[in-house]
């Protein structure tokens, strides 16, 4: 292994993802906002996720250590029934959709994920769980767009759906000024079954 590989890092988080039909349901509600607020930096629909634990920049060599323990954790947890509901903003700039349904189960899953990660010797920022989907960010100096979009989500209540997989995700966030992209490093079926290898 050369010096460059030893020092390589990857930005990592562990998440759940809504199924396509739930994302499509929310996207239909947001469609007018895409047209009326084109300067917003919209997240790609395929990247919408519910973060359970944000691990930050990790040495690439430490990521494989997470795979077996997270696979075991996913197999031990039954799917949760969640829904997308309402919306809001962080700092009047970041638009999000809220999560409804089995929030106690979601808290338990997130706590177990964090325990497993720490058991692998990985240190990470211990942020409180605030279940949401990040949808868009406003440009600096524009706070009215985010507020207006989130107000349009106030009455939104999506259909419930079962969570399917626990995702270990890598991202390029913070590495360039371009759009943020995410990729599954690996995903495991909740309650056992077949996961999706990288």
- Look up 49 and say whether it is catalytic: yes
- Residue 98's DSSP bridge partners are 85, 132
Q: What is the mean pLDDT of the chain?
A: 89
> Who has greater pLDDT, 107 or 6?
107
Minimum mean pLDDT among 84-93, 127-136, 150-159, 176-185: which range? 176-185
pLDDT tens-digit map of 27-79: 999 999 998 988 899 999 999 999 999 999 999 888 999 999 999 999 999 99
Quote the pLDDT of residue 4. Answer: 44
**Nearest residue to 33 via CA among 95, 75, 79:** 95
Transcribe 1-32 into DSSP letters: --HHHHH-EEEEEEEE---HHHHHHHHHHHHH
Whole-angstrom Cα distance, residue 185 to residue 168?
6
List the chain domain ranges. Answer: 3-189
CA 1 to chain centre: 32
Transcribe 95-111 into DSSP letters: EEEEEEE-HHHHHHHHH
pLDDT band at 179 (very low <50, low <70, confident <90, very high): low
% residues pLDDT > 90 (the chain): 73
- Look up 167 and say whether it is catalytic: no
Task: Return the H-helix or E-strand segment holding 69.
Answer: helix 64-76
Q: What is the pTM of this model?
A: 0.87
Domain spanning 3-189: CATH superfamily: Cyclic phosphodiesterase (3.90.1140.10)
Which one of the listed residues 37, 49, 77, 167 is annotated catalytic?
A: 49
Whole-angstrom Cα distance, residue 12 to residue 182?
9
pLDDT band at 174 (very low <50, low <70, confident <90, very high): low
Cβ(83)–Cβ(98) below 8 Å? no
Mean pLDDT on 168-193: 78
Which one of the listed residues 21, 37, 77, 132 is annotated catalytic?
A: 132
């Amino acid at each position: 292994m050369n010096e460059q590989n030893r020092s390589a890092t990857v930005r990592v988080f562990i998440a759940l993802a809504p199924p396509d039909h739930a994302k499509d349901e929310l996207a239909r509600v947001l469609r007018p906002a895409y047209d009326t607020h084109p300067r917003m930096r919209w997240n790609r629909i395929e990247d919408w996720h519910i973060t359970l634990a944000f691990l930050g920049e990790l040495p690439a060599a430490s990521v494989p250590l997470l795979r077996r323990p997270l696979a075991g954790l996913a197999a031990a947890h039954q799917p949760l029934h969640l829904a997308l509901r309402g919306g809001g903003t962080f700092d009047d700039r970041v638009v999000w959709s809220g999560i409804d349904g089995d929030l106690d189960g979601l808290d338990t899953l997130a706590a177990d994920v964090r325990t497993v990660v720490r058991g692998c010797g990985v240190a990470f920022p211990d942020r409180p769980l605030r279940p949401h989907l990040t949808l868009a960010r406003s440009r600096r100096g524009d706070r009215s767009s985010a507020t207006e979009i989130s107000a349009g989500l106030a009455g939104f209540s999506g259909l419930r759906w079962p969570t399917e997989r626990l995702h270990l995700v890598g991202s390029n966030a913070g590495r360039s000024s371009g759009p943020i992209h995410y990729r599954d490093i690996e995903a495991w079926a909740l309650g056992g079954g077949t996961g999706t290898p990288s």
